[in-house]
Each structure stands twice: as structure tokens, then as C-alpha cells.
A and B are shown apart, each in its own frame.
Chain A
Amino acid sequence: MAYVLKERHPDLPPPRSEVGVLGWLRRNLFSTWYNTLFTLVTAYLLWLALPPFFEWAVLHAHYAGEGRQACAGGGACWVFIGDRLPQFFYGFYPAAERWRVDLGFALFVPLIAYLHLPRVRFKLWVGAFTLFVYPVIAYYLFAGGVFGLPAVPTSQWGGLMLTLILAFTGIVGALPLGVLLALGRRSSLPVLRSVSVAFIELWRGVPLITVLFMSSVLLPLFLPTGVEIDKLLRALIAIALFQAAYIAEVVRGGLQAIPKGQFEAAQALGLTYPQSMALVIMPQALKIAIPGIIVTFIELFKDTSLVVIIGLMDLLGITQAALNDPKWLGFAAEGYLFAGLIYWIFCFGLSRYGLYLERRFHTGHRR
């Protein structure tokens, strides 16, 4: 009976082809013949594209020096970006006053950070402060003309600063209006409903650039003589109204997902319509709508670049202006890549933030 094992044979290691690097490769890249084909073709395409790009953007690039002479020969010319860097961030904002912009955005960071701490006190107040008081402070800080700060007209605002202002103000304006419109569209009152529907469909049906064009050159025709609104403000209002229509549709989606029982229960408790909306329906609806709102916000952030068509010098406008500088002709790729990277950082950050919120708010609906 010697051939009978007395103890359990130790487990054999899995075949070499199933574990480690080899196994991973086999499972993820070469599982079937067509997957192998895909892998090879993709790898070949990447091989064609990436090394030359890397060489151009990193290896053979020029980082330091003065003027365009520093960029002789192939390779990307990052000197150009460096030369224009302050403009990319501040536009034509006077150099001596740029600390005000820095301070304005520096104030914003702790506010947002505080709002994101879980379970802290006075959140409502801090939130209200961020939405209503902070913009006023920031406006006077940027525009000046009070407390001895030299006035800086909005026509000198530009670059990333202007993009951020447009995006922030746009969302702050669009959100409440969008919620109202969504409620209007779901209302049982036919007039209210049709006015909301007409408003939403009108704004969703026309391109933003025609709206911006109207706001920039045609608007004074619709207003009484002598009434003047700053060009930047008009663009802001146009963007906010435009995005409000999109927000309204997202919020409507959230409202539709709330069972009717919730509203009936709220009524049964004796809550009035505003109370039941504010305390019961909206918190749930907004929670569901959050991912959509973030997506709309990203769209808004990207759409701010259209103000270049009405002559505002946002990040893209400044990039265009820099590319037209006779001293720096021929660096279009560098300019667009840099501006694209900045936009990308913000939009990608926002989309990740949206995913995070989605997970954080995903309470109670989990199955």
C-alpha cells in the first residue's frame, strides 16, 4: 500500500500561462485569435503615434530661452507658452493688480473645502455665503473702484480667470432658474407648464453662438435707450439662461423618478406645496439629478469658450490672440495643446468629482 499517499499532496502551482505577467497577458490581450489581432493592430498604431509625439513634445522640445530664436529646429516650443503664461491666466489684467485675482480665487478654495467636510456645522450658512456673498466680494475685488482699489474694466479681464468667472457665475445663475423651470414644467397649471415648456424648448433649440451674438450686439435694440449692461454681464446672462434650460431637463428627470407617494405623504403630513417641495421632493430629486447636473456643468464649462466669437478674451480667446502675435507665428499646436490641457484638467476633475458624488449620495437606492 505504499502507493497510497498518507497526506494530502500539496497544491500544484497553476500553469505558468495562467498567472503572473504571462497569465495577465493571455487573459487580457491574447485570449482569442481576434483579440490577438486587435492587440497587435492597436499596439502598432500606438507605436506609430506615441514615440514621435513624445519626441516632439518632450525630448526635442525647447524649454528655456528668449524669443523665437530659442525654438530653432524641430520639437515643441514651450518657450512660447512660458512667455505668454501670465496672459493665459489673467488676460490683459494689469500686472500690478493681479494679486487681487489670486486673492479672489484663494478665498474660494477654503469655502469649497469646508462645504466638502462631512458633518460640520453651519454648512447652510457657509453655502449661502459662497453662493450669494462671495460673488459680490469677488466682483468688487476684481473690478475695483472701491476701497482705493484701482478700477479694472471687465474688458481687461481675460484668460483662465475669465473662463472660471463665466463658468461659476453661469452655474450659480442657471441652477435656481433651472429648478424653477423644472417645477413649472411638472406643474398642473397649464399656463405655467406651457410657458416653461416654451422657454426650455426655445433655448434648447437654438445654437449658443446666435444667443451670444444677440446678447452682444443686438440686445440694446430691445432695451430702453440709455439702459446699459456690461458686455461681460450680458454674456453671463445669456449663458445662464441657456444652461438653465438644460438644467431644467436634468432636474425634471430627477423629479420624475420620485414616486408620487412621496408627495402624497408630504401632503398628508400637512405640508404646503413649497414646504413639501423644499423638504421632501427636491432633496431626493436633486440627489438623483446630481450626475446630470455635473455633466451639464462640464458642458457649460466647455461652452464658455464660445465667447471668443463675440470678442471676449477667455482662455481660448487669449490663445488665439497669442497665436496671432507676429513675433510668435507658427506655434498653433503648442498653444492649442496647452489650452486644451487646462480645459481638460478642469473638466476631467469635475467628471471625477461627479462620480464621487454619485457614489456618496447613492444611499437608500442601493439594491
Chain B
Amino acid sequence: MKIIKILAASAAIASLSMAANAHAGKTLDAVKAKGYVQCGVNTGLPGFSSVNSQGKWTGLDVDVCRAIAAAVFGDASKVHYTPLTAKERFTALQSGEIDVLSRNTTWTMTRDTSLGLSFTGVNYYDGQGFLVKKSLGVNSAKQLNGATFCIQAGTTTELNLADYMRSHHMKYQAVTFDTSDATAKAFDNGRCDVLTSDQSQLYALRTQLKNPASAVVLPEVISKEPLGPVVRSNDIEWFNLVKWVGFAMKNAEWLGVTSKNVAEMKKSSNPNIQRLLGVSGDFGKMIGVSNDWAYNIVAQVGNYGESFERNVGMDSPLKIKRGLNALWTQGGIQYAPPIR
């Protein structure tokens, strides 16, 4: 009896695998079927993705996940979050553990080409900087010869630092931690002289110090760090969806559509706005969702500018200026192709 059961079970599993494999690559269908987006986020980085004591996730990267859910389901809350450390993130996406990775991840050529993954755009233009204690009396990264650096394992930061120090003929020591929390705590306790990471992170981590005023961010930016959501390369439909969710948020900001005025904007005579909000055209259908997809995103998550200000900008403890991340119309480089 037992034998028959085992045989039957393995046969069932095998046939299941055949059936399932026929659908390989249809991430959107799978997402719709299970009823939520599985989104990989940072284990805790204020402003980008952090969880409060009620277990609620917030942040710029989290908003990407929520916007995708809003586009697919019309409900921004249909997201399940998988907190990932830097070194787990690509494996989790490759293996199919998550549907999209939105975890302040730098777009590099290697990652875009050899991991079987594709970046869908940039939701934050960043660069690597240095955070030091004021008491050290350092005001330029050139003075950091012989210093000890705290960094996070598995990031581009590790590589950039090595490059920078080598090209400036400086010696250094790097203490590598798993999470940004541990990195910040070690820096705070004086384990290292310098915390190096993407500048946005430095501002975020600085708020976690015992005395945030005791540390300063040095002026040098030693690398380009375009951060954005990542999906698997094998599914162009899902790739397009995630890509255009990002563009929709930026287009909404450009058109002045906010979460507050989005209902009235539906009556707007501007054809750009009409196309964005699904009043005219069939743009939702093109990416496999309903035509009011962008309406739902803006109504429930907000446009790019709102999300930025709320999470990392002037309305947040981080107080980061828009800078490069302003729209192209305002001196930044955030740009979105037109919806038409």
C-alpha cells in the first residue's frame, strides 16, 4: 500500500512538473493566480524599505512593489515582502523565490547580462560616498589613507572602494557585514573610521546613529550607482510591466497628476493625461492589466515625486534633495518615455 502511495505521489509530482514547466516564464499569470506580488526588499534601510513595529513596510523601494500591485490588482496592498540581505538578493530572484527585486540594487553590466536578470529602470540615481565622524577632522576622502571602512557584503560598494583606494595609492581595511543595521552599529561604536555606501544610504544610516549630528558625509562621490528594480530576463511581458509602472509614476509627476487630484484629472482635456489615466487608449491591455492601471498607481501610491518626498525627501527624516533625481524638466535626469 505504502509503495503504491509513494509511486502515485511521485508520478503526481512529476506530471505536475511537466504541466508547470509548460507555463514557465508567465510571471504575470502566476502573480494573478496567487493574488499577490512577491517582492524582495531590503531587510531594513530607512527611506527605502523598512518595517515598523506593526509589521508595515514603507519606503521608496517598497512603493515600487506597491505600485506594481496597484497596476496588476488595483490594490496596492497585495504585496508579500521578502526581506533580503545583499548577498541573498540575486539568488532569490534567479530561483523564482520572488517576482521582482526592489532593493536599492545598482545597475551594472555584469548583473544585467550574466545573471539572467534585467534592470527595468532607475528609481534612484545614487553614488557612493563616505560617512565619517566629525571628531576625526577629515574633510576629504583623499585623507583616508590607512583608515578602516565598514561596508556591506555583496555590494558594488566593496568593489568601488577597492578600485578607489588602489587608484589613489591608499591602504585600507574593510570590515564586511551582512546587513546595513550591523554596518551602522559597528560604525557608531567606533569599529571603523568610515562607513562607505551609496550616499542615500549614508543619510539613512546616519539617522540610526546615537547622535546623528556627530557624523558628516564627505563631498566625494566615487561611483555611479543607478538603483532600480530587477526582474528575470526570461519574461519580457513582466519586464515591460515593471518598467512601465516606473515610467507611469514619473509621467504622472511630469503631468502634475498627484494622489490628491487624480480623480479630477480624469476629466482633464490634456490627451497625455487621458492616455495615462486610461480615459483614452488601451495602454493597460498592452502590458496585460486593466486600463486604469496608472490611475490606481497614482491614487494609491502617488506619483514619483510624492513617493520621493514622502520617503526620502523633505517630508522624511532623511531630508535628501531631489538633485539628480528631479525630473528632466527641473534639472534632474529622471526621464520617462511618453505613453502613446
Interface, chain A (partner B; CB < 8 A): 87, 92, 94, 153, 155-156, 213, 216-221, 224-228, 231, 309-311, 320-321, 323-324, 326, 329-330
Contact = CB atoms under 8 A, between A and B. Distances in A.
A225 B21 contact: yes
Contact of B210 (A94, A156, A329): A329
B207 interface: yes
B112 to A, nearest CB: 20
Interface in B1-56: 13, 16-17, 20-21, 23-24, 30, 34, 43-44, 46, 51, 53-55
B207 A155 contact: no
A217 B23 contact: no
B94 interface: yes
Contacts of A216: 88, 92, 97
Contacts of B97: 216-217, 219-220
A92 B51 contact: yes
Given A92-B51, A311-B83, A324-B208, A217 B34 contact: no
B23 A320 contact: no
Nearest to B15: A224
Given A329-B188, A329-B210, A218 B16 contact: no
A321 to B, nearest CB: 8
A219 B88 CA distance: 13
Given A226-B20, A228-B34, A221 B181 contact: no
Contacts, number: 76
A100 to B, nearest CB: 16
B95 A326 contact: no
Chain A residues touching B, majority SS = helix
A60 B43 CA distance: 35
Contacts of A309: 178
B85 A311 contact: yes
B91 interface: yes
Given A155-B80, A225-B23, A326-B207, A217 B88 contact: yes
A326 to B, nearest CB: 5
Interface string B60-100: 00000000000000000000111111001001101111000
Contacts of B94: 221
Contacts of A227: 16-17, 20
Given A217-B97, A311-B84, A326-B207, A226 B23 contact: yes
Given A220-B95, A226-B30, A329-B188, A87 B20 contact: no
A221 B16 contact: no
A271 B80 CA distance: 54
A323 B210 CA distance: 12
For the complex of A and B, list the 6 residue pairs with the smallest distance between their C-beta atoms, beginning with the closest: A92-B55, A224-B17, A226-B20, A220-B96, A221-B95, A217-B92
Contacts of A329: 185, 188, 208-210
Nearest to A326: B208
A153 B208 contact: no
B82 A231 contact: yes
Nearest to A228: B34
A153 B80 contact: yes
A130 B188 CA distance: 48
Interface in B169-205: 178, 181, 184-185, 188
A135 to B, nearest CB: 21
A153 B81 CA distance: 11
Contacts of A94: 54-55
Contacts of A226: 20, 23, 30
Nearest to A83: B53
A323 B34 CA distance: 35
Contacts of A330: 210
